[in-house]
Structure 1
Amino acid sequence: MNKELLIGGKSCASYGSNHLLPARTAEGAPDQYSAYEGASAPPFELMENGMKNTGDKSGQANQLALQEHEEFSPCQTELNTVYVSEQDIKEALLQYVSSKCFYRTAPAKHMKVQNLIPLNTYRYHLETFTEHRETHRASELYKGGFVDSCAVAPPPALWEIEVDPPPLFTDCEMHIPVPHTYSVEHCPNCKGRGRTECTSCNGTGKKTCSACNGSGTTDQADFNICSFCGGSGTVCCFMCGGNGWLKCYRCSGSGILLFHTELTITWKNNRTEHVVDKNSGFPVYRLQEVTGKGIFTDEHSLVYPIVNFPESSINEGSRACIEQHKMQFALESRILRQKQTVELVPVSKVEYEWKGKLHSFYVFGNEKKVYAKDYPGECCCTII
């Protein structure tokens, strides 16, 4: 069976995988989330440092609160940490200013840093790797020989056809002819005649003479006969050679075609992002340009919402993203794998003094990119 695998527009060899879920997963996926409402990480009750006092309920609550504090306090510490030094700040701003055509470098070189405010934030990603299948009718020239029709064997169902999926979380597409779906039929373009009516002359084989406009003469006064059409006012159609018909381009004149059902399999990595917005004045969409520090990764056939994360917005964002992907993909596609990650993205607000005035800008991401909306060294140039 011929298979064509396209990755990034290029043909390549197919790959194997042990993560392929059975077809029933797609049908039952919406119900699997309701079977378990826990966290991706183990709940605190099952951790090594679980509650010791099981008799006193108030003691249990206090111990649980203490465990939560001990478990997530490193994250909170990192959230309130400045990841850039004053030297890093000056270098980042100088590089940013140097990339601008009309920015002076003097403020970046001689500014006095007054304050560094950590505005680090969390970013959540959900990736859902799906497989979607659909079929359509395809045709090719029939040159005789064996026809693998439904009389040979019943055609397989859509999800019964086994294929080797690509590497996980990789977008690609495969085209496969479905076995036992071949049939020889009349060409729909020419209706089995092997030829089609010439559209240039509408099947007449003749066209109006362009030299005399169909009059047959070149001079109305002397009634000179047109030398191009011999006085008939029409000439032979160049497209069909005067017979009014053309050979059918689709069946190459045979009048029949070999039809089959073509299966198209599309693998797609669907990605959704949720960023905690602290309303600090920094545009969070700029975080798409940078990377952060990974602090949590969870990959399974189906992941479950995160709970007990110190930032409640991540818990809510995780649940909303998973529910969105479940509703969007589970009914029409098969979910092969899911992965969710949480990053700590460094963001620092820098307040500095230049010529007696206070200004600010932001340094963000592991790449130490700069966002400076009101840079004091911007030149006002007018092009005449």
Structure 2
Amino acid sequence: METELLIGDKSSTIASYESEDPFPPSIAQVNKSFPDPSYQLLNEELNPHKKNWNILSVSEQEVKEAFLQYASSKCCYRTAPAEKMVVRNLTPLNTYRYRLETFTEKREANLASELYYGGFVDSSAVGLPPAPWDIVVDPPPLFTDCEMHIPVPHTYFVQNCPDCKGQRGIKCQSCNGTGKKKCSSCNGTGSTWQEDSHVCSFCAGTGDKSCLKCHSSGWLKCVRCNESGLLLFHTELTITWKNNVAEHVAGKNSDFPTHHFQEVTGRKIHHDEQPMVYPITDFPEPSINASSRACIAQHKMKFVPGGLHRILRQKQTVELVPLTKVEYEWQGSLYSFYLFGNEKKVYAEDYPEKCCCSVM
């Protein structure tokens, strides 16, 4: 599963699609004329005038427990600051994460081969080969990556092995098919020169040595066809199911690295799953509306109907991801760290008590 991460309100990817409508007017009108009742209900719940999501999601005690667990997991961190720190301020910076998942199926036909032992060949003379999209298969669970290889019926034929050209063997490249190589001791002269003329003891004066690679035969066994000279070919259909993911995290004015949000989960406040989803248009955070529109347009153009891909299902979600900035005092100095996600993970760029250690 691949994830495209779009961060902040000023993403160039989102802006490039902001003025384009990925759906025909007729479809857009149908969507507006028949709104999903559950979506209307959710919109009422998300009304910023009725709900304030930017509230503290953790208590001071939970902050201390998470920070202590974090410090204990680091071999070079002393736990004293986490145990004795004084919390001075907790600032909620909760943010929204939009995610679009597009579950696609891709079909490609390639030529495959296998050893031929004789017998019946299911060729095109037996029946008409089916088109790639006419072959019925059971897909894996939705939004799960998977790959399957299927031989296409009535596409088999027998042909000479392309490696040995039907000769059952391949000419030895070491000796160029001669079975002999020049003696390296006498450089092919058959004799060695010292004080007197001597017959080369390595080649017995012939100037040649037997090729060890092919055992003097000049040929090597063709491994691909197992010395039969023939192969059975067929068309193999490769079916690839893939969950394609695009994400956007609403930008916040903080120094927290937003890529860490990929490590955690949040509270799901919007879920929409259909064969093809429509862009969110009235979410309280404008960048979520923009990213929904951009991501759907991207996937629609990427997986064009009639090509190698087809879209089986789409799912879009919006999560409220907890993010709290913790300011604390330790030995008269102020420090800070972030607590984020339902998992209450800690990001602390500066920890006051570190030690140097080495593995002996």
TM-score tier by shorter-chain length is: 0.7 to 0.9
Say which SS state the counterpart of residue 79 (structure 1) adopts.
coil
Alpha-carbon distance in 1 for matches of 2:280, 2:194:
92
CA offsets 1:212-245 (integer angstroms, 9 cap, x no match): 3322234555433334433211133333343322
- Who is 2:139 aligned against? 165
- TM-score normalised according to structure 2 size: 0.83
Worse-matched range after superposition: 246-255 or 318-327: 246-255
- Who is 1:259 aligned against? 233
- Who is 1:338 aligned against? 314
Shift of 1:326: 1.1
- For 1:1-384, list aligned pairs within 5 A: 33-34=23-24, 35-37=26-28, 38=31, 42=35, 71-73=45-47, 77-218=51-192, 221-330=195-304, 331-375=307-351, 377-379=352-354
Residues 156, 233 of structure 2: 8 Å contact kept: yes
Shift of 1:41: 9.8
- Who is 1:6 aligned against? none
* Displaced runs of 4 or more, over 6 A: none
CA offsets 1:322-355 (integer angstroms, 9 cap, x no match): 1111112235411111111111111112233344
Worse-matched range after superposition: 347-356 or 141-150: 347-356
* Alignment-mate amino acid for residue 336 of structure 2: S
Shift of 1:182: 0.9
Residues 205, 243 of structure 1: 8 Å contact kept: yes
RMSD: 2.9
Residues 39, 307 of structure 1: 8 Å contact kept: no
- TM-score normalised according to structure 1 size: 0.78
Change in 2 beyond 3 A, CA 1:253/1:75: farther
Alpha-carbon distance in 2 for matches of 1:76, 1:108:
37
Residues 173, 265 of structure 1: 8 Å contact kept: yes
Shift of 1:184: 1.1
Alpha-carbon distance in 2 for matches of 1:169, 1:131:
11
CA offsets 1:71-126 (integer angstroms, 9 cap, x no match): 42479635122111111111112222223344343333333323322111111111
* Alignment-mate amino acid for residue 374 of structure 1: D
* Alignment-mate amino acid for residue 42 of structure 1: P
Worse-matched range after superposition: 179-188 or 229-238: 229-238
Change in 2 beyond 3 A, CA 1:299/1:379: same
Residues 40, 306 of structure 1: 8 Å contact kept: no
Change in 2 beyond 3 A, CA 1:40/1:174: farther
Shift of 1:168: 0.9
